[in-house]
Each structure stands twice: as C-alpha cells, then as structure tokens.
C-alpha cells in the first residue's frame, strides 16, 4: 500500500473533483484520463502496472483480449434512412439488447456530461450497461492468488466495448453520425451523469449507479449520435432515502472512504467517495470492488424484493397517517 501512498501527488484528488465547492461546474479530467492531461497520471500508471502483474487480469485488459473489443467503425452510409424518433428508439434499443447490452437508455446531451477541456456537441447519448456475474464479483477484493473479481470487471468492460461498437456501426449504416465511448479509460464523456439522465439508475452512497435490476453490478459504455431519438427519464426509485439508512458499503470499506452523508461537490449535494482514501487500497487490491458487491441491490433478484418491501412500508405509513 505504501507505494501508492508515496505516489499521491500534492494536490488532493478530492480538490480536483471539487469536494466542498459551492459553484456548479463541469468535472475536471481525472484519474482514468490520459496521464499527461491530469494531476494523477503517475498514480494511474502505478495502479494499472500493478494490475498487469497478474497475467490473468492483464490478458483481459490487453488491446486484444479474449472475445475482442468489437469491430472498427464502418463508413457512414451516404443517405439517411427515415423513421420516426419513437421508431428509431425502438430499433436502437432492440439492436443493443440483441448485441451484448443488458440495459440501455437514452439521454439528450447536456454540457454537464462533458469533462472540462473537451467539446462534445452530439445531440444524443445512448448509454449501455452490461452485467457482471455476481458470484465472480463476490470474490472481491481481487488478489494475485485470486484475481477473479478483477477479471470479471475487465471481461465486462470488453463486452460493453463490443456492444457500443456494434451499435455505433449499426447507426452509421442507417446514415447517421455515431461515435463509440468505452471504458475503463475516459475522455470527453462523463458517463455517470449521462447514465442517470438516461434512466439507468440512481447514484448510491458508494459513488456508483444503482440500477433497479442489476444493482451496481454492471459496467457501462455509450454511443453519441445525431440520429433523431427521444430521451428516457431518470429512474427514481428511492435510492437516496435507502442509502441514508443503509451503511452496508461504508461499513465494509476497509479504508473508510465512503462518506455517510452527502457532500457538496461542484455545486451539487451528492454521495461521494473520498478518492485519497480509496485509491491506495484500490491499487493494492487490484481494483477492490468491495462496495459494489456489498450493496444489497447487487444481489441477483434483490431489487424486486427490496422495492416490494419499500412499497409495503410506504403503504403502511400512509394507512397510519389516515
């Protein structure tokens, strides 16, 4: 762990992220961005080099992993095929779900989805989620002896990449512009706010999205396009309230990095993870993932049961109020 603590730059990651700032602003390029344009590039290199010491993890994070990262972009067709926005939404979602995506949503582009120092004016963003196997992720934290939980993360980043690249090509073939965005490295598109706007879920206390079916057990990719589409709406199903009472992730986090109360971050009150506390443990354990697997919503089938319990409690509360 000491090597990661020693590599922490003078500037706190929390300051870069805007912790405590009251003014609304876009996010600054950070940890997963190209090392040269951000403050924590050396630390990123140390963390990823450490992961690549595991042959099993390295194989899946290589440029040519098992199963591949998907096709190269095709030429955009010269003429645009015509359909209503509602019909394009139906076709695009069907295509995505038949081509490796497990969940998909659409949001109108918002400048707040774009990192500072980047420009991105495509009118629509389609966000894709792919599930990670619960039992594999439950072996977190990964280690050199048992890297399973890191391997499933890498494998599903690759599936998410394939899903968005196939969808991109499908849209290009219909005559519209499209561009694929895949992780784990970042560039212009800040995927979490886009995914929330696209109805994929709500932000949880552990700083990841919680989807009503998959919990936090999924990875994301996206496609931006000028195809005429319609926006989904944010899916609000009570996570804010649930996280206020639940402490499963914050109690399980070894370096105690998860704040139990919302924090002011770039002008918005939101759940936030202390980057400076998380990252040395994340680095040492080849990717940690404890908080996302300890989240009760991440258990297969749990979302439906929790929602039904919450609804029963709400109706009992209503009866008691009468």
Binding site for ligand SF4 (CB under 6 A): 204-206, 242-243, 246, 248-249, 253, 255, 257-258, 273, 278, 281-282, 288, 290-291, 294-297
Q: What radius of gyration, in Å, describes the C-alpha atoms of the chain?
A: 20
Provide the minimum distance between the beta carbon of 121 and ligand SF4 in the complex, in angstroms, as a whole number: 33
Nearer Cβ to ligand SF4 (70/193): 193
- Given a contact cutoff of 8 angstroms between Cβ atoms, the answer to whether 238 and 310 are in contact is yes
Nearer Cβ to ligand SF4 (248/307): 248
Bond preceding residue 318 cis, omega within 30 of 0: no
Residue with tokens 């899946």: 60
Provide the minimum distance between the beta carbon of 288 and ligand SF4 in the complex, in angstroms, as a whole number: 3
Provide the minimum distance between the beta carbon of 104 and ligand SF4 in the complex, in angstroms, as a whole number: 23
Provide the minimum distance between the beta carbon of 179 and ligand SF4 in the complex, in angstroms, as a whole number: 29
CB-side exposure of 195: number of CA atoms within 13 Å?
25
Nearer Cβ to ligand SF4 (93/294): 294
Provide the minimum distance between the beta carbon of 244 and ligand SF4 in the complex, in angstroms, as a whole number: 8
Rounded to whole angstroms, the Cα distance separating 160 from 175 reads: 23
Nearer Cβ to ligand SF4 (124/281): 281
DSSP designation for 215 = B
Provide the minimum distance between the beta carbon of 252 and ligand SF4 in the complex, in angstroms, as a whole number: 6
Q: Where are the alpha helices (DSSP H) in 62-198?
A: 85-98, 134-137, 148-173, 191-197
Nearer Cβ to ligand SF4 (101/196): 196
Structure tokens at 23: 């003014």
Nearest by Cα to 92 from 242, 262, 264, 224: 224
Nearer Cβ to ligand SF4 (70/141): 141
- Given a contact cutoff of 8 angstroms between Cβ atoms, the answer to whether 282 and 140 are in contact is no
């Amino acid at each position: 762990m000491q090597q990661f603590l020693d590599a922490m730059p003078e500037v706190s990651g929390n300051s870069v992220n805007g912790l405590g700032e009251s003014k609304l602003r876009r996010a600054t390029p950070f940890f997963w961005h190209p090392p040269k344009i951000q403050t924590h590039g050396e630390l990123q290199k140390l963390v990823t080099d450490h992961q690549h010491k595991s042959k099993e993890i390295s194989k899946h994070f290589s440029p040519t992993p098992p199963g591949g990262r998907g096709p190269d972009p095709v030429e955009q067709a010269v003429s645009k095929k015509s359909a209503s926005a509602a019909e394009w939404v139906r076709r695009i979602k069907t295509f995505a779900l038949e081509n490796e995506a497990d969940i998909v949503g659409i949001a109108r582009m918002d400048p707040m989805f774009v990192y500072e120092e980047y420009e991105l004016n495509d009118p629509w963003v389609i966000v894709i989620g792919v599930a990670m196997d619960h039992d594999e992720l439950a072996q977190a934290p990964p280690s050199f002896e048992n890297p399973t939980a890191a391997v499933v993360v890498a494998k599903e980043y690759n599936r998410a990449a394939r899903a968005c690249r196939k969808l991109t090509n499908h849209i290009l073939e219909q005559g519209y512009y499209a561009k694929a965005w895949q992780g784990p490295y970042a560039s212009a598109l800040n995927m979490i706010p886009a995914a929330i706007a696209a109805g994929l879920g709500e932000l949880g206390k552990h700083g990841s999205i919680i989807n009503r079916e998959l919990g936090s057990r999924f990875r994301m990719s996206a496609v931006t396009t000028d195809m005429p589409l319609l926006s989904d709406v944010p899916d609000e199903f009570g996570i804010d309230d649930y996280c206020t009472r639940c402490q499963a992730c914050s109690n399980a986090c070894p370096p105690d990095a998860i704040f139990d109360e919302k924090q002011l971050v770039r002008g918005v009150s939101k759940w936030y993870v202390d980057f400076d506390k998380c990252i040395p443990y994340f680095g040492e354990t080849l990717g940690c993932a404890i908080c996302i697997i300890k989240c009760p919503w991440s258990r297969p089938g749990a979302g439906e049961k929790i929602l039904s319990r919450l609804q029963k409690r709400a109706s009992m509360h209503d009866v008691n109020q009468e």
